[in-house]
Structure 1
Amino acid sequence: MIKIRKSVVRVKNKKQAKKKKVYHSFSPWRYYFVGTVIVLVGISLICRLAYIQVIEKDYLSNEADKRSLRVTQSISHRGNISDRYGEELAISVPAYAIWVDPKVVKKAYAFTKQQWLESKEINTRNGKVKYTKKKFYESKKWSALAEVLNYDLKKLAKVVSKPRGRFVYLKRQVNDPIVQYIKKLKIRGIASQLESHRYYPTGEINANILGFTDLDAKGIEGIEKSYNTYLQGQNGKKRVRKDRDGNVIANIKIISKKRLAGNLQLSIDQRIQSLAYSELKRAVKMNDATSGSLVLLDVHTGEIYAMVNYPSFNPNDRSQYKAYKSRNRAIADTFEPGSTVKPLVIVSALKNKKARVDEIINTSPGWMHIGGRRVRDGHNLGKIDLAMILKKSSNIGISKLALRLGPEKLQETMAQFGFGNDTGISLIGESVGNLPIRHRWSDFELATMSFGYGITTTTLQLAKAYAILGSGGIKYPTTILKNTNPVGGEQVVSKKIADQVLHMLEGVTQKGGTALKARVDGYRVAGKTGTSRKANSGGYGDDYVAIFAGIAPVSNPRFSLVVMINDPAGDHYYAGDVAAPVFSIVMKSALLLSHVRPDAMDSNYTLLESL
């Protein structure tokens, strides 16, 4: 029994041994397979990395830069222009430009097929289905945008529907409330950018001398153009890297440094300028003239305290703009100065010792033949001195002095007083006038030049010539900028002769003179009228230019002032009636506002003033 059990046990043990599986702790083929896969993956990653870093490096870098690199701009606002006391004449204020990206609009507002199918309509006549698509710009948002920008809706649709456009201006120089309103519309593809808007607080008063800028804040007329580089400055540009939300995460490179614009301070006194413009405008309209100009100069510094023109325009409203209104007539328009050049002929005669201060010249019988033509006075003045020649504006007397001088001496003096040359003001559009230089002159041509025909000048040139008389014969550089460091002038004629002629001119504004209306209460005034005929294709017609040029106060000259009224067509056209009253009002205001003490007049002068 025992043996049988043992055999049974052995059989059972053998069966159990057969059923039990045996596992090996290490499998070589699996190890090799996994290792091979890891190596291949590593090699492929290394190859891919090498391909990206070496072969496609530039391409991928460029693609990354396209999505993240941007150029930001730091705006440098245009410099301000002010008068001599700091009152603003031209300023730059923030404004915005509204622009559209047509590609974004097209992508954002293109209709899907389902939207197009939902807009179908049934044509009841023939039973056919007609599909209609509502145009995107007919929505209320686009209508509101067109209205606030003052755009025609169809024109707006045409602009934003450009097939390849990425940037199109809709409107520029708009204010912040409009921008905020547009933002609330939340129209995709519509954006704004900051820019500058030029504003002129004094409007039409200074428009002719300041000029104006274009939409890009670039000067295109007047001082704005002449000093554009100085006023404009330079915007700063910087390349930066931005994230997907538009935040700057790195500053890459400064493309151009921001340069602040400069501010200009003019020599203009806006108080005098405003009054001068008002009086000139009134005189032009009252006398039914076509235009006028006025210049006020400081005789000791050459600074321009006032320069006005009429007609003018409001530079803040470009709808008023017309080319003829924008011209600075004081430096651009030339005219024959008429009798206002007679003092220079006397200066030349005294300087070249062709006449004496107390010399008497016979003008009888009030006319004379020169070169087969007649020169005449208004009436027979008889025997008169040099002062009376100016006081009565004698053509006969001044012609005789010119014939003594000859053309060369007379031309030399006029050139020294600035005729035929620019004034040095450095403004765009200045005319130099015309001082004929030729070898042969007839006696009649020389005579007519002595009373202002055959030569042309500007209002500023004439004011500068009279400033030389007022400064004691010194010619100072003319400037429209405030002169903080006055420079020396050039002595073109002796102080003695300049003072002698200045006192002769005082008689013009006294009793018996041609410009009683030019007098200024409390101040002694020297000046000269000039009423010249305007030349036309057939000679000289019946149109006139009325000019008055003067200096005050005579005892201690401070200002020279020239008023020119072009083509007065009213009842009066003589300079003593048309231009002299403007001179009186403007000069009085200039002297009082500049705190110039009144003259201590003698009893004879006071008596004459009261008559």
Structure 2
Amino acid sequence: MIGLQGALYPWRFRLVLLLLALMVAAIGWRIVDLQVLDNDFLQAHGDARSVRHIPIPAHRGLITDRNGEPLAVSTPVTTLWANGRELQAAKARWPELATALGQDRKSFTARLQANAKREFMYLVRGLTPEQGQRILDLKVPGVYGIEEFRRFYPAGEVAAHVVGFTDIDDRGREGMELAFEEWLAGVPGKRQVLKDRRGSLIKDVQVAQNAKAGRALALSIDLRLQYLAHRELRNAVAEFGAKAGSLVLLDVQTGEVLAMVNQPTYNPNNRRSLQPAAMRNRAMIDVFEPGSTVKPFSIAAALASGRWQPESTVDTAPGSLRIGRYTIRDVSRGGLLNLTEILMKSSNVGISKIAFDIGAEPIHAVMQQVGLGQDTGLGFPGERVGTLPSHRVWREAETATLAYGYGLSVTAVQLAHAYAVLANDGRNVPLSMVRLDRRPEATQVIDQQIAQTVIGMLQAVVEEPGGGGARAKVPGYHVGGKSGTARKASTGSKGYVDKAYRSFFAGVAPIDNPRIAAVIMIDEPSEGGYYGGLVSAPVFGKVMAGALRLMNVAPDNLPEPQTAVIESAKGGRI
């Protein structure tokens, strides 16, 4: 037994040696494999602990007006950040850093102590490169800089509602900045760097991916017209003590928005004391009952029915019309009026009787075809569609109110579009907030002859005595338009607010070859009157006079040249 056990010990010893040899061989093979054959594994893990990618900010695309004038540009800025842990080792320099940053020392110290364990915290954002470099030159441990871009708006409050603005991270938040975010935003790049375990930069290795700048965007807005419209609307709101206002100019032939302004407005370059109400692009977001400004479309529907001609007359005496519990009233007692005179006198009674004769459906169809209560297709953030009511059975009250502009709600842009359709010989072209290189295709929605006839009636409203639009005249040009005054509907209950009105004027110019359609809406004028012909019509006249000249539109209403008679020295005439 003893000899047998002794014979077994060498076998066990050799087995242990073999196992150890195999283990050493496996470890040796793994070392050779990692260091020589497959070194990517160790390289990847090493890089994961030291190689970092720092984003390279992308330059946001330039926004310009139709003539190339800048509306939104990106400027380089420096953002300072800190490693809270590293800053704890340099507490003696905190007062110096707080002074350089222009911050209160006590609150700055409290903030650093609260973020003592954080490896990243913003100190200040949006400094000019010179300001940022001065602070970095202090060499405070744990303070670093990042290059970013900040948006600047040269036109300021004049184009704020159209252009919008970006947030602190350079992302679009309002207006065209938001609508075209994907177009304007660039693609950030990547820079490869080496950092130690504390996060300190050791080496700038290379640019791994170049930043791709955003694409430029040319708007349809003409900044010259924008300034003009802004000034006149601001003056009118102040003169009449109004709550707000909107003004829209459209190119009749292309559907481009040439100007769009609102009051109140704001400065996108300084939004510290910004009021939310001032941010609303009222021309696209606020809806209202358009009042008498839609009567031309009711007239167009009457002419299209074949039952009415321009010389057809309506007896509007005694200036009121009873419908059930409601009484429709005119401002003046017109008596027997033809269709043109109904527009000139803005007769609710006359237009209601026409609507009773042809029915509400034809009027509704015309309003729908010219874009009232319909999506404009502009894609503007927050834009509202409004309401164009449709009933299976139209009662008399509903028919009458539709004809003279109550019971439906539209935006200023929709109303301007509708007048542009009339001015474009009844052709509807899609609207655009972006500059177009060629004229878009148009759809005939109103008979050309009828559209021209209605435009002629609108000219009479402005130029004929007693038309109500005399204050909208433009020296040297024939223009046409229609004023309107509508009571403001109550938002908290049914009915209307006492002594609260909106004043409108919508028109086109020049009559011979219409180029511009315009709508002015003044909200709650409280001083000097509230009728559209008194409040909004003068704004139309001033803006249109400047716009036609800026666009080099030839005058069509100049006086005939007179021949001068010169007496000769001998008493004869030359």
Residue 518 (1) aligns with residue 472 (2): yes
Is the CA contact (8 Å cut-off) linking 2:191 and 2:206 kept in structure 1? no
Map Cα deviations across residues 503-548 of structure 1 (whole Å, 9 max, x no partner): 0011111221111111000001100000011112241222000000
Residue 330 (1) aligns with residue 283 (2): yes
Could you tell me which amino acid in structure 1 is paired with residue 183 of structure 2? Y
Is the CA contact (8 Å cut-off) linking 1:313 and 1:320 kept in structure 2? no
Q: Which residue of 1 aligns with 2:58?
A: 76
Map Cα deviations across residues 368-409 of structure 1 (whole Å, 9 max, x no partner): 212342112122211111111111111111111111121222
Deviation at 1:49, TM superposition (A): 6.1
Is the CA contact (8 Å cut-off) linking 2:233 and 2:247 kept in structure 1? yes
Structure 1 range deviating more: 376-385 or 233-242: 233-242
Deviation at 1:250, TM superposition (A): 6.3
Q: Which residue of 1 aligns with 2:110?
A: 158
Could you tell me which amino acid in structure 1 is paired with residue 408 of structure 2? I
Select 2:509's aligned residue among 516, 536, 552.
552
Select 1:201's aligned residue among 149, 154, 160.
154
Q: Which residue of 2 aligns with 1:593?
A: 550
SS at match of 2:485: strand
Select 1:309's aligned residue among 238, 252, 262.
262
Residue 480 (1) aligns with residue 433 (2): yes
Hey, which bits of structure 1, 4+ residues long, moved more than 3 A? 43-63, 238-251, 256-259, 600-603
Select 1:565's aligned residue among 518, 522, 529.
522
C-alpha separation in 1, matches of 2:203 and 2:494: 74
C-alpha separation in 1, matches of 2:135 and 2:206: 31
Select 1:265's aligned residue among 214, 218, 225.
218
User: What runs of 5+ residues in structure 1 fail to find an aligned partner?
Assistant: 1-42, 110-135, 604-611
C-alpha separation in 2, matches of 1:249 and 1:544: 67
C-alpha separation in 2, matches of 1:316 and 1:198: 8
Map Cα deviations across residues 282-312 of structure 1 (whole Å, 9 max, x no partner): 1111111110000000100001110001101
C-alpha separation in 2, matches of 1:379 and 1:60: 93
Question: Who wins on radius of gyration, i.e. which is larger?
Answer: 1
Deviation at 1:572, TM superposition (A): 1.0
C-alpha separation in 2, matches of 1:143 and 1:49: 57
Deviation at 1:275, TM superposition (A): 1.2
Q: 1:250 to 1:519 in 2, by over 3 A?
A: closer
Q: Which residue of 2 aligns with 1:288?
A: 241
User: What runs of 5+ residues in structure 2 fail to find an aligned partner?
Assistant: 1-21, 561-574
C-alpha separation in 1, matches of 2:135 and 2:508: 58
Residue 348 (1) aligns with residue 301 (2): yes
Map Cα deviations across residues 536-590 of structure 1 (whole Å, 9 max, x no partner): 2241222000000000011111100000000111121111111111111111111
Is the CA contact (8 Å cut-off) linking 2:56 and 2:210 kept in structure 1? no
Is the CA contact (8 Å cut-off) linking 1:101 and 1:160 kept in structure 2? no
- 1:228-243 residue pairs with structure 2 within 5 A? 228-237=181-190, 239=192
Q: Which residue of 1 aligns with 2:98?
A: 146
Q: 1:45 to 1:144 in 2, by over 3 A?
A: farther
Residue 441 (1) aligns with residue 423 (2): no
Is the CA contact (8 Å cut-off) linking 1:470 and 1:551 kept in structure 2? yes
C-alpha separation in 2, matches of 1:245 and 1:528: 69
C-alpha separation in 1, matches of 2:101 and 2:224: 38
If the length of structure 2 is used for normalisation, what is the TM-score? Answer: 0.87
Deviation at 1:211, TM superposition (A): 1.0
SS at match of 1:544: strand
Is the CA contact (8 Å cut-off) linking 2:192 and 2:205 kept in structure 1? no
Could you tell me which amino acid in structure 1 is paired with residue 349 of structure 2? I
Deviation at 1:259, TM superposition (A): 3.2
Deviation at 1:362, TM superposition (A): 1.3
Structure 1 range deviating more: 351-360 or 522-531: 351-360
C-alpha separation in 2, matches of 1:82 and 1:572: 39
SS at match of 2:150: strand
Q: Which residue of 2 aligns with 1:182?
A: 135
SS at match of 1:319: coil
Map Cα deviations across residues 466-511 of structure 1 (whole Å, 9 max, x no partner): 0001100001110111011221111001110000000001111122
Deviation at 1:322, TM superposition (A): 1.9
Is the CA contact (8 Å cut-off) linking 2:284 and 2:411 kept in structure 1? yes
- 1:338-487 residue pairs with structure 2 within 5 A? 338-487=291-440
Residue 498 (1) aligns with residue 451 (2): yes
C-alpha separation in 2, matches of 1:529 and 1:53: 91
If the length of structure 1 is used for normalisation, what is the TM-score? Answer: 0.82
Is the CA contact (8 Å cut-off) linking 1:354 and 1:401 kept in structure 2? no
